[in-house]
Structures are given as structure tokens and as C-alpha cells.
Chains A and B, each alone.
Chain A
Amino acid sequence: MQRAGVGRALVCLVAAALVAAGCGTSGAGGGGRVRLTVATFGEFGYEPLFEEYERAHPEVDVVGRVTDFDTHHRGLITALATGRGAADVVAVEEQYMPRLRRSARRFADLAAFGADRLRERWPRWKWEQGVADGGRVVFALGTDMGSLAMCYRRDLFERAGLPTDRDRVAALWPTWEAYAEVADRFAERVADARFADSAGTVYTAVLNQAEENYFAKADDSFIGDTNPNVRRAFGIAGAIAAKGRTAKVTTFTPEWNVAINRGAFATVTCPAWMLAQIREAGGAAGAGRWDVTAVPGGGGNWGGSYLAVPAQGAHQREAYRLAEWLTAPEQQEELFVRSGILPSEPEVYRDPVVLGHTDPYFGGAPVGALFAASSDRVRPNHRGIRDADVRPVFGRALGRVEDGAQDVAQAWEQAVREAHDLIG
């Protein structure tokens, strides 16, 4: 008797849950308001801006979706591939841009909504990553950029008998070769900390200063094996790794966080967006220990994102308006001052408010001026369509050197072989 009751209840429950599950539908919000979803990863700092936008546009509801880097991009690609499930506005990180450009038709052509008139907002290299078909189609608008500086530990530099003042530190390393020499000097005096966090960050910084790396600008053919820029970057980073000058911690891993907190390395090439992470990992006790100065070899760029409007969305025009607003100079400035997200628009980083911005955690370093200066020197860096496939091959090769599994020559040879196989 009782048994039958439980069983029947289960059957009903299944039926009810199925019905309930099948009924929930998403779509337009109540009262004829347009509901726009914005999918980002990591910290874009958009939440307050959404509220501001809703106040200015009462007919629009803006909802943010934030996931981690991998989940975000995998989800985006799945949604684009199947034509369903993408948000109205999506963020795309720079390394995915060449691949998505190949399928630019999956996105709305923003030129149709007037985006071609925004060209002057961005430096040319940033704008051009977001266009396809020789510039006729605009599929993404630039948000932040990752112009490079060098973060260093004043206390460790002092122990190594090196200067700690940021201008004198910058003068120590006009070039990456000089940086490697400073690493040797550092290692003679300090035994319990390494000079750099990993060979990978050094390599990325050197490489991104060159105009061409793995693919020829002219015809997008693979030149990674012969291009002297790649060899040089690999040689510099590889030598630092082989001499044990790195703490062998991969960026963003728990080990990296602990290494920052414990002062296990003295320098790290840092784009603007990394400052927040160093601050978080370093905790209150780390305040004033870190400082920021110029990176060897002038400026450079590491990372930065775009906003795009998938063509599958129901409200593409409204989505464009929101994306246009979010990437406008006023909002970019606000994001930098509040969250340290570096704008990619020259107009903004020449703004006195931005230029005068300092960061107390990093010893009051004039981060606004530093990053703006670095931005000025960013050279457009040609990324081939398969850049993102080849890049990790060389990164892993340096990892093998750090692991002690191979010497620089062996690692290089294997990387070139793998890259060739991959390109086919």
C-alpha cells in the first residue's frame, strides 16, 4: 500500500518535472522590453556600466554572463557552430580573432549599423583585427589592450644590489639581452628567488614586439622556422630558462599565485590587466613591495579583447548600440580608472585623468602614463589564421627546457617539427 504510493508519486514527479522543464522558455523580457545578454570572461568590469545603460535606455534590460576563459570561448564556438545559444553581445579574446575572422559571417556586419564611422577611435592595428573581407565587413569592436610593462619586486632588487628606482631599473634593461644579463647578476646575489616567473612570459613579450612572427604578413605562409624574430625570442627565453633563472610557474595557476605572494620571482612582464591579479595574489602584505616600469625593447602588447554581435541574435541592432556604447571612449576611461582595464583607444590614454592615474599598491607607480607610453609603441603584430594553433607548440617547447627535459636546441627542433606537421 505504502509502497504503491511512493511509486505512483515517483511517476507523477517524473511527468510533472518533464512538463515543468519543457515549459520554461527564455526570450524577451516582460513589458515589451528588449533583453540583451552580454557574455564575457574574466573581469571586464561591466556590471556598473550595464546599470548605467539601463537607466539611460529604460526599454533595455542588460544581463551579464561571466565564465572563465576556456568555458567562455568553447561555449561561444559551440554556439556559433550550431547557430544557437550565443549571447547578444559576446567578448572575444585576441588569440581567437584570426579563427573567427575566417567565419565572420557568423557575426553581424556592424558596418551595416554604422560601425565603419568609428574607425578613428582605435589605432589601426586594433581596428584591423576586427574587420574582414579587406575591411568591408566589421565584425568586432576593440575593448581593452594589453600593452606591456615590467612588474618587479623592489625588496628583491635591493637584496641583489640592483637599483630599485623605476627609472634606473628601466635603464638597466634597454634590450632583452640586457635583461638576461641583469638576471645573471641577480642570481649571483639572491639564491632563494628567481629572476623571472617563467620563460613563457618573457618569450611572449619578446615575440610580440616583432611585426611578424609565425606567419608572413604578405601571404600568411608559415615562417616560424626561419623568421629571425622567432629564433631570437626563443633563444633569449630559452637561455634564461636553461640557466634556471625562472621560477617555473605558469601564469594564473595556483603555483603562480603562491609564488607572487612568497616573492619567489623578482620580475614579470605585465600587461595592465595583470596588475589586479598581482594585487589579489600578493594580498595586503604585498603592498608597496611591487613596482612597475618599462619593459625591455620598448612597448608591446599581450592580450586584449573585442566585442562582437553574433548573427544568430534576435536584437542585433540593439546589441550593436550597446557594444558601441560599451567601447566608447567615455566608458573606456571609466573602466580604466575604476578597474584598471586599459583602453585601446588613443584618445582615452591621452586623457589627463588616465595619464595621471597612479597605483598605490605598486608604490604609487604612474601606471596611466607608463601603459599609455607603452601603447604608443605597440607595433601591429601580424597574426596568421593558424597563429593560435602554432603558438602553444613553442610555448611548450620552452616548458620542456624549464622542466630540464631538453636543451634549447632540442626543444626548438621538436617545436619546428610539430609546427610543420600541424600546418600540414
Chain B
Amino acid sequence: MRTQVSFARRGREAAPYLFIAPFFVLFATFGLYPLLRTAWLSLHRWDLLAGPVEFTGLANYARLFADPFFYNALANTASIFLVGAVPQLVAALGIAALLDRPLRGRTAWQAVVLLPNVVPVVAVALVFTQLFMRDHGLVARILSALGAGPLDWQAHAWSAHLGVAIMVLWRWTGYHALLYLAAMQSVPRELHEAAALDGASRARSFRSVTLPGIRPTLLFTAVVSTIGGVQLFTEPRLFGGTSTGGNDRQFQTLVMYLHERGFEQLDAGYAATISWVLFALCALVALGNTALVRRLVGRW
């Protein structure tokens, strides 16, 4: 009898660890190990092909913090993110609100909204480069029909950032909308009903019931999309066709710069340094957001 109880208790104590073990084992192998190895690389002059040349300590970091291209990439990354983030948040919330109501074939709608995320990246790049072609693209024609001259999207920083942001926006808005929708559906209906009984307008009810109800999700997606923003690579890389992002690096993001250094100039040590600075940036974002979550939602 006694042994049975202690066996059960021990099982109960071990259970949580067993539940979380698969995640941590896999993370340690495929996430942490590469990260640590990258840290080791960043302390060396390390040629991607020839291997370690010499141990240089923090020299790569010193070089990076004095590197104007690094700051340029940092500014571009931030700019593209900001240009895209606000419209994306508003659009995703709007779509989620539209779908969070009696609607025929809501599941089909969900699928439609998610569709941009299904289209292969290669196809997205081809389609958007065609749409944005300087002289003969559809957008160029619409612009010229409206009386504006042809726009060379890639030639100016602002238009290149806008173009990339549009691609990101198109690909990810539906994704975030679905996250919001899932959260909205778990907001208790009674709250909406109570608000309706009190004579609250739809907009009012959305503001004072729905939004607070999905706040954790809002913050979570804010974190996820900021991290996605910091790591932006595919869209601008395919948009310009090179890792430098335009003739004056006007839309080179941090990860593009990392690729240029690592895979084109074979400077693996420097690329690893950029990786770690990126990681630190993401961690800062995470800490900031964690503080926010704590303040707004209480304890973990």
C-alpha cells in the first residue's frame, strides 16, 4: 500500500519533466548545439572552406560594431518591419473580426485567408517580381493609368522597403488573422452578450471585450512577428536577386548581410558574429516583450 502511493507520487513528480523532455532534447540537439558552435566560430578568423585560421577573441565583434554596412542592414531591417507591421496588425485584426461572426463556410474562408502562406516562396517571388516590373508590370500600368510615372521599385530605399513589406504583408497577414481568430473564439460569449445588453455598439464591444480578451495572443504575435522581422531574408533576397539588396544596399537586411559575408565571401567567423548579434537582438525583443506581458497580463 505504502509503496504504491510513493510510486504514484514519484510518477506524478516525474510526469511534468517527461512531458517537457521531448522538446528540450530536440531543442538542445538542433537548436542549442548549432548556436554554441556558431559562438565558437565567431571567436575566430574562420574561412568557410579552409577552416579556422586563428583565434581572435572578440575581434570580430569589435569589427562588426564599427561596420557601416551592419548599421545599414540594421536600419533597413527595422524600417521594412515598421512599414509592414502596423498595416499587418490592423488588417489581421480586421480579417479575424470579419471571420469571428456567423458566416457560411467559415472554414473555407479560413483556408482562403491562409492561402498566401501556402504558395511556394519561389512562386511568390516570381509573381511579385512580375507585378512590380519597372516598365511592364501590372502595378506600373496601374500607376501610369493614375498619372504617375513608372516606379523603379528597387532603385529607391523607400519604394524597395515598401515592395518587400507588401510581399511580407501578403504572405503573413492571413496567418496572424487565424491566430487572432482562434483567440477570439475562446473569449467567452457571455461577455459579448452582456456588452450587447448594455447597448454597446459593435465597435465598442470589439474594443472593450474582444481586444482585452485576446491580449496575450496579440503580444505573442507581436513577439513572433518582430522576430520574423529581425530574421527577414527570403522576400528581399528574391526581390532583388542578390544578397546585397540593391546597388547601394538600400534594402539589404541583417540576414542578407550574413549570407553575403558567410556564403559569398566565405567569412564564416564574421557571419557567425552577425548570427550572435542577431540572436542578442531577438533576445532583447523577447525580454522587452516578457516585461510587457508581465505588466499587462500578470504572472506567467
Contacts and interface: CB of A to CB of B under 8 A. Distances in A.
Q: Do chains A and B touch in the complex (CB under 8 A)?
A: yes
Sorted nearest first, the 6 A-B pairs with minimum C-beta distance are A399-B247, A103-B49, A403-B155, A396-B247, A400-B247, A81-B48
B266 interface: yes
A161 interface: no
Interface stretch (B130-138, B193-201, B220-228): B130-138
Contact of B50 (A103, A255, A258): A103
A102 B50 contact: yes
Interface string A388-406: 1100100011011011110
A262 B129 CA distance: 18
Contacts of A264: 135
A377 interface: no
Contacts of B49: 77, 80-81, 99-100, 102-103, 106
Question: Which DSSP category, helix, strand, loop or mixed, fits chain A's interface?
Answer: helix
Contacts of A405: 155, 247-248
Interface residues of B, number: 24
Given A254-B133, A255-B135, A77 B247 contact: no
A396 B241 CA distance: 13
Contacts of A248: 134, 152
Interface string B144-156: 0000000010010
Given A255-B134, A388-B264, A396-B247, 20 more contacts: A74-B263, A77-B48, A77-B49, A81-B48, A81-B49, A248-B134, A253-B241, A254-B129, A254-B130, A255-B135, A258-B133, A258-B136, A389-B264, A392-B242, A396-B248, A400-B248, A403-B152, A403-B155, A403-B247, A422-B265
A72 B175 CA distance: 32
A77 B261 CA distance: 13
Interface string A67-111: 000000010011011000000000000000001101100100000
B210 interface: no
B268 interface: yes
Contact of B244 (A102, A250, A258, A396): A396
Contacts of A250: 241
Contacts of A78: 263
Question: Which DSSP category, helix, strand, loop or mixed, fits chain B's interface?
Answer: loop
A77 B266 contact: yes
Given A103-B50, A106-B49, A403-B152, A77 B244 contact: no
A264 to B, nearest CB: 7
Contacts of B244: 392, 396
A405 B155 CA distance: 8
A258 B137 CA distance: 10
Nearest to A247: B135
Nearest to B243: A70
A404 B247 CA distance: 11
Nearest to A402: B247
B263 A258 contact: no
B49 to A, nearest CB: 4
Interface string B225-248: 000000000000000011010111
Nearest to A73: B263
Contacts of A389: 264-265
Contacts of B247: 396-397, 399-400, 402-403, 405
Most buried by A among B126, B135, B152, B268: B135
Interface in B248-271: 248, 263-266, 268
A231 to B, nearest CB: 20
B133 A255 contact: yes
Contacts of A400: 247-248
B57 to A, nearest CB: 17
